[in-house]
Amino acid sequence: MRITDVVALPVRIPPAPAHPSPDGGGETSASHTVILVETDDGITGIGEAFRFAPKTVAAFVDEILKPLLVGQDPTRIELLWDRMYRTTFRYGRMGLVMHAISGVEVALWDIAGKAAGKRVCDLLGGPCRDGLLAYASMHPYDTPEAAAEAATGYLAEGYKALKLHQKDIASVRAVRDAIGPDVRLMLDASGAWTQPEAMHAVDALADCDLYWIEEPLRDMNDLDGLRRLRERASTRIAAGENEYTHFGFREMVASAAVDVLQPDVIKAGGIAATRKIVGMAEAWNMEICLHSFCFGAGVAATLHVGLSSPRCEMIEINAIRLQRWLTEPDLRPVDGMVRLPDAPGLGIAIPDDILAEARRR
């Protein structure tokens, strides 16, 4: 079997009318980059690059990655990843380049599973549980009242855990008061605070019983600052969605910067790289919770990797609803859980009309 083509398609699916958040976060969730790796056996692998700059990522895949892959055996995933990674070093080791490589790599695993007649999770050693607990990753809201109302709404939809993207203490308190003490609640500060501001925030939020505070520092690469904050905080510190490959996570683990590692499969390098990061967490007895603020093959890949490790218990679900879903099945939670599809590979398909519209653009 040989690769005959690699196609990256920018896709836009608007949020459902009732769901755009006040800051426009629903609109940012409307962007996707679907990657298709086609073979001479008629098997097409589906991947997804992270949602940033879809046209730029698609151009990079077409101009740089496609020539490296056409004619190659798609099941030699480690070899092809190494070729993409080492050939593109002049373009950068982080950001859009790695998003593109990650999306292609996920598509290669989809091919491998389809060719073997097995789910990707089974190729990784088999599932360790029946499903992953979904937490609703909420978009930011303008007021504490709006955040609290949205939080109770997501609980009514069946979610058992929530993550806020608020930057003010009042909103966190309002949500905790609204949902009660028994719901698992996380806070993603999204790099909002300086070191002194973060110190103040973790102290002020100590009685809110947060499961973790994520990416608190404005300088997201300040591992020493994260370590100092972690040593002071009574709440656990999480980070990793903006770190790349197992090489980058090596430094995060060695510096004892965080309590919870959060690699993103379609940012950090793909399925194999994320498995290596999971292995680090296992070796260092750390919690790991995969980041997955997406809707397509990235969610499927996250589910397969997460279920293949006893360390992973939750999956992040972008709580915004789209006008239609990017994949079949949609991989949305049922009774607060997300479970594997039965089909081989990633177990998903992209609806034909979505692909046809994307190709016409």
b/e code 30-44 from CB counts within 10 Å (16+ = b): bbbbbbbbbbeeebb
pLDDT single digits (tens) 154-196: 999 999 999 999 999 999 999 999 999 999 999 999 999 999 9
**CB-side neighbour CA atoms (13 Å) of 251:** 11
Domain locations in the chain as residue ranges: 3-118+351-360, 122-339
Find out whether 348 and 327 touch, Cβ atoms under 8 Å.
yes
* Residue 200, C-beta contacts closer than 8 angstroms, at least 6 positions apart: none
- Dist CA 106 CA 315 (whole Å): 17
- 20 pLDDT exceeds 50? no
Question: Whole-structure pTM over 0.85, yes or no?
Answer: yes
- 361 pLDDT exceeds 80? no
17 pLDDT band, cuts 50/70/90, is confident
Closest CA to 64 of 32, 81, 87, 95: 87
What's the CATH superfamily of 3-118+351-360? Answer: Enolase-like, N-terminal domain (3.30.390.10)
26 pLDDT band, cuts 50/70/90, is low
Tell me the mean pLDDT in the region 86-98: 94
pLDDT single digits (tens) 194-230: 999 999 999 999 999 999 999 999 999 899 999 999 9
Q: Are strands 31-39 and 260-261 parallel, antiparallel or unpaired?
A: unpaired
- Looking at CATH, the fold of the domain delimited by 122-339 is given as TIM Barrel (3.20.20)
* Percentage of residues of the chain with pLDDT beyond 90: 91
Q: What single string gives the DSSP state of each residue in 16-37?
A: PTT---TTSHHHHTTEEEEEEE
